Chains A and B, each alone.
Chain A
Amino acid sequence: MSDEMSKPFDKSALTHEELLKINRERKIQITAFACMIFLTLLAFIAVAMEMIAPGFTVPFILLLAVVQFALQLFYFMHLKDKDHEWPNAFMLTGIVVSTPAVIALILLLGVTKY
């Protein structure tokens, strides 16, 4: 059986439905890419237009980053797919630990300065 591991295939075992499914997925990924480009442009424009107050710009671009983060993880890295329960759990754990870490570092280094 170990020979099978390093043997190339002359055809794919994709059924017609599976092929349709990955074609649809590719279309969604290209749409997600267009969305990401749009969000990036929006963030850069929001900063380049200096008449917009920073009080609005900063939460706005952070929100755009979070949306783009989700698009990448769910569509490009397939976190939305089935059989990705554990990857979701790992990433969620990472985010749960990261959030207080970032806040604590900002407060300790930037505000109390200890």
Chain B
Amino acid sequence: MSDSVDVSKGLPPNPEKATLEGKNKFLGFWVFLGGETIMFATFFGTFLGLRDGTAGGPSASELFSLPLVFIMTMLLLTSSLTSVLAMYSMKKNNFKNMMVLTGVTVLLGFAFLGFEIYEFYEYVHHGGLGFTTSAFGSSFYSLVGLHGAHVTFGLFWFITLMIRYSRTGITLTNAPKFYLASLYWHFIDVVWVFIFTVVYLMAIGGA
């Protein structure tokens, strides 16, 4: 697989794409992200179509609060930066830094997830919006919950990689894996940019 890689001088400059396996994973993962874009688009479209259908239940502008969404946005945005910096450390063959920054990313991700669980709990128990209350409720929980499920999956992905490769250092096998997990994490952040704009800000802004 890695027949054409020159490893005599040390870790290749772009370790995630140094081997054929890495190149293939990289390409395949982008196909997946293109597909994910379309899947999220259908959930966004459904939400936008149904968000006025409150069926006598609470509406978006009655439930949402700006400070909570703002904190969640900042957490996820910062975790995206730490993930980028982890990849910078990977390219420099700085294994310890990469693990620490990935760990920070995971912590920020858990903080985000905690706020989201709190948010859903509040809406269900104090806001009176259940999954089946209204078309707005169903489409809201489906869209934001799907994003939350992606965050959860991404966190377990990172944790699995960190445990599996806790002692190995950066190798040509694990470099593509860390790189793809980081791409996935950025994609989650990209989706959140549209969620906080389209779901929360547009509802609070009165459109």
Contact = CB atoms under 8 A, between A and B. Distances in A.
A15 B19 CA distance: 19
A49 B44 CA distance: 26
Contacts of A6: 168, 171-173
Which residue, of A12, A73, A91, A104, has the highest number of chain B Cβ atoms within 10 A? A12
A8 B168 contact: yes
Nearest to B43: A105
A21 B66 CA distance: 39
Contacts of A15: 13
A66 to B, nearest CB: 9
Interface of A is mostly: helix
Contact of B50 (A40, A101, A109): A109
A93 B45 contact: no
Contact of A37 (B51, B77, B168): B77
Q: Which of B3, B37, B171 has the most CB of A within 10 A?
A: B37
B149 interface: no
A57 B73 CA distance: 19
A98 B84 CA distance: 27
Contacts of B123: none
The bracket for how many chain B residues form the interface is 35 or more
Contacts of A110: 48-52
Given A33-B81, A101-B41, A105-B48, A47 B204 contact: yes
B14 to A, nearest CB: 9
A106 B53 CA distance: 13
A36 B77 contact: yes
Contact of B170 (A9, A33, A54, A77): A9
B92 to A, nearest CB: 6
Given A72-B189, A94-B34, A102 B41 contact: yes
Given A26-B85, A86-B30, A91-B33, A106 B49 contact: yes
Given A13-B11, A22-B91, A101-B45, 9 more contacts: A9-B93, A11-B10, A22-B92, A47-B204, A61-B205, A64-B197, A87-B26, A90-B30, A105-B48
26 contacts: A1-B2, A5-B173, A6-B172, A7-B7, A8-B171, A13-B6, A22-B88, A29-B81, A29-B84, A37-B74, A40-B196, A46-B205, A47-B204, A54-B205, A65-B193, A65-B198, A72-B193, A73-B190, A77-B186, A77-B187, A90-B31, A90-B33, A91-B33, A101-B38, A102-B45, A110-B51
